[in-house]
Amino acid sequence: RKLSPDFLRLERQVLVNNEKLDIAGINELNKAEVSVNDGISFNLLSGFVAYSESERVLVDASISTNVINFIPLNGAPSKSIIIGPKAVSLNEAERKQRIFHDIKQYFISASSDDSYCAFLYRDNSGNYSVLMFDWQGNPIRRIAIPNAATAFCFDSERHLIYTLDSSSDQLYRYCY
C-alpha cells in the first residue's frame, strides 16, 4: 500500500514474485479518494490488512469506515461486511473530520491466524468489541470489551483475550 502522488488515494497492490496481480476487489478499493490534500485527510484512508496464505484471501478494514472487505485472490467475488445499520462512506468520514477536527476510528487493531481474522472495533456509542470472522467473511463471534483498548491479542489455548489501552497503559485480560 502507498499513497498516490496527489495524497488523495491509497494504492493497494498484491505482488507475487514481483508481478502485480489484477484483482477486481482491490481495483475497486483503489478508486476511493478523499476530496482535498490538506495534509491530514489522507489518514482517513488508513486501515488494517490481514492475509491468509492457505485461503488466499486478503481482508481490508478502513479505520474511518465501518466496512470490512474480504478479497479472494483467486478471482472469486469479493465480500463487504457493514458493521452497524448502514455503511459510513469515506465522504461522510471526511466531512466529520472537517467539522470535529478528529478522525472517528472504527477499526483500531487487527489479529489473525489460519482459522480467523479479528478486528478491534469501536461503535458510534464508544463501545468496544472484538469481531471475529472466518476467512470467507462469516462471523464467528463478537466479544464485548468493557474498557477502552488500542490493541489486543488472543491466547487461544486458554480462551483469553488481552487488551491494551495505550493512553492509560492499562492491560486487561478477559475470558471468551
146 grid coordinates: 468493557
94 grid coordinates: 471526511
- What 3-state class would DSSP assign to 100? helix
* Distance between CA atoms of residues 88 and 92, nearest Å: 6
19 grid coordinates: 508481478
- Check residue 100 and give its pLDDT: 66
Question: What pLDDT digit, counting tens, does each position of 71-127 carry?
Answer: 998 888 999 999 988 988 878 888 877 776 666 788 999 999 999 999 999 998 899
- Check residue 111 and give its pLDDT: 94
Neighbours of 62 (CB within 10 A): 23
- Check residue 103 and give its pLDDT: 66
Q: What is the mean pLDDT of the chain?
A: 87
Q: Answer whether residue 130 shows pLDDT above 80.
A: yes
- Check residue 151 and give its pLDDT: 95
Name the most confidently modeled range: 2-6, 101-105, 165-169: 165-169
- Check residue 174 and give its pLDDT: 94
Q: pTM (2 decimals)?
A: 0.81
* Distance between CA atoms of residues 138 and 81, nearest Å: 9
- Check residue 89 and give its pLDDT: 82
